[in-house]
Chains A and B, each alone.
Chain A
Amino acid sequence: MRGSEFLPNQIKNLMGQNNGVSASATNAKAAADRFQAHDYYNLDELLQEDHLLARDAVRSWVKQEVSPIIEDYANRAACPTHLFKGLAEIGAFGPSLPMEYGGGGMDEIAYGIIMQELERGDSGIRSMASVQGSLVMYPIYRFGSEEQRKKYLPKLGSGEFIGCFGLTEPDHGSNPNGMITNIKDDGDAYILNGSKMWITNSPLADVAVVWAKDEEGVVRGLIVEKDMPGFSAPEIHGKWSLRASITGELVFEDVRVPKANVLPNVHGLKGPLSCLSKARYGIAWGAIGAAMDCYDAALRYSKERVQFGKPIGQFQLTQKKLAEMITEITKAQLLAWRLGTLANEGKASPAQISMAKRNNVHMALEVAREARQIHGGMGITNEYPIMRHMMNLETVLTYEGTHDIHLLITGMDVTGLNAFK
């Protein structure tokens, strides 16, 4: 067959043409990435040329760099740290920040699509990028001094520095305002004490954007560097979710943080919450990617798997599952696209972002569960991406605001009545 060197690896394997490299486990996994996107409502027609180019570029990158290795890393609960450099090179860190500060100068829809494609590969890989871009680069860009922007953003954008974001504490998750991490004035520096929990990237991080209360009880943001005495970031082990992403704590014991490292333009919880809105927006798109991957795998499996003399896709109960899956994915795509256009106009409210995060992650988890059923016993193995996505999505359902908290955000928005008090 002409031009067959450009075919996906699994087709070459079938044709016996994939010579040159021994058939290692890695290659077997690479061969498994037969993903084809599904665009039931022709949403591509709503996208600009740069959105489509960004989507295709990140999709190619994921197929080349993530799919061949991800099951192995997730299986071993190891973080593919080499991907930080690749994520930086492709431009996945802060794509909507200005180019002069290490970003990509793109719009919010492009940012969303990049997150969708990364999470199609793995929620943990998307998390690596979300944290770096939305939770580290964004607050330094939005609230930092010009010196801080120039010092940190280019290095974060190029992947030379890894960043993390410290808000959640062991005893304060959904209620960040109860945080006990604190700073005390000490001349030209603050003395930082406390600890943070469930911090993506923290054991690898060169810099941490940390939120702590000052002596007046006002939440402030600080840039803590890894070699500051008294600062440590132990890894959290034993996760059954986001196994290819590294998670840790942040521990501060009398860490002396220069006042030059305090973000000057933010006071109060609105600061970290605005970062979370940015990250939640990315998750609303990202979750669609995980759902698309599960649906795509299930659709293909349903046509290939024969029982009772016909493909299982011909059975009504399988079709019901597939029909509901693509319907829910299409609705989520529309929600994300509309949210993206509002965000581009600067009109996406935190409550609107909250709704999309909650809906789309819940949708993706349900799609993963249905896809698992269609795959039967094979669905629990790492021959297929389903179980990995499903376990990842349990985290995504909870982090950046739990499903229940997001319900209460919508509840408060529509009733005007605050259920948190």
Chain B
Amino acid sequence: MKLLVCVSKTPDTTTKIAFTDGGAQLDTNGVQYIMNPYDEWYALVRALELKEAAGGTVTIINVGPAANDQVIRKGLAIGADEAVRIDADPKSALYVAKQIAAYAQKENFDMVLLGKESIDYNGSEVGAMIAELLDQPFISYASKMEISGNTATISRDIEGGTEIVELDTPFVLSASKGLAEQRIPNMRGIMMAKRKPLKVEAAVEAPDMSTTVGFELPPAKSAVKLVDPEDMNELVRLLHEEAKVI
């Protein structure tokens, strides 16, 4: 099976977010980056498991600058066979989806996998857009996938339960928790990754159709208010007027 896994680079989960340029740009000073865990822990690892069970290749693709190579190399260390980086600034979900779809179109993958969202912008848009551009089905929030021949049986997380879907390849899938277990690369994998191909390709034309003009942080948490246990009226007033929960 020929599998493509889309990986994005996101700030580490413990990053303290700040902005520059009057709120229009993320302040990258001191930010540690990681591979988006939904891409890494679930989409990539499940792809590797499929390859290990039935053979094939796993290619990872990223849209971004050369500074993303370390994150890409981690994917190779975990076990992907090769990597492609589309050398462009990932301006928007549509822009990224067009780049990935253009590459996938050329290579005829059996499956395109990616995380259900990236943990920075949380858009959950790229997968659906790739599927549309490739004219393929899109299965989102997959928490389990079994393959028999070229037919996949996939469990999707839906509100309050699970939906089970069956379909044939090719398709695009977004992965949620449960699809696989995180793998930590070992030293041998890290050294092998140095010798695996990381191709850099030029971006295809894709016009900017939207522009981010600003970000706003949520309001700072106010201090805890202690209420005298005898004064229930004050507690009710605060819950009603300030917290606005009753």
Contacts and interface: CB of A to CB of B under 8 A. Distances in A.
Interface of A: 2-8, 11, 36, 49-50, 52-54, 56-57, 60-61, 64, 89-92, 95, 99, 104-106, 110, 114
Nearest to B36: A3
Contact of A49 (B14, B38, B70, B122): B70
Contacts of B70: 49, 52-53
Counting chain A CB atoms within 10 Å of each CB, the highest count among B14, B122, B177 belongs to B14
A60 B73 contact: no
A19 to B, nearest CB: 13
A237 B119 CA distance: 49
12 contacts: A2-B122, A3-B13, A3-B37, A4-B13, A6-B13, A6-B119, A50-B190, A50-B193, A57-B77, A91-B186, A91-B187, A91-B189
Nearest to A56: B74
Interface string B36-75: 0110010000000000000000000000000001100110
Interface of B: 13-14, 37-38, 41, 69-70, 73-74, 77, 117, 119, 122, 177, 184-191, 193-194
Given A52-B70, A53-B70, A61-B184, A2 B117 contact: yes
Nearest to B186: A91
A54 B188 CA distance: 10
A6 B37 contact: yes
A93 to B, nearest CB: 9
Given A53-B185, A61-B184, A90-B184, A105 B69 contact: no
Given A95-B187, A105-B188, A106-B190, 15 more contacts: A2-B119, A3-B37, A3-B38, A6-B119, A7-B14, A49-B69, A49-B73, A49-B194, A53-B190, A56-B74, A57-B187, A64-B184, A91-B190, A104-B190, A106-B191
Contacts of B122: 2-3
A61 B69 CA distance: 22
Given A5-B177, A104-B188, A114-B187, A36 B14 contact: yes
Contacts of A61: 184
Given A49-B73, A99-B191, A57 B185 contact: yes
B158 to A, nearest CB: 18
A110 B69 contact: no
A54 B184 CA distance: 10
B119 to A, nearest CB: 3
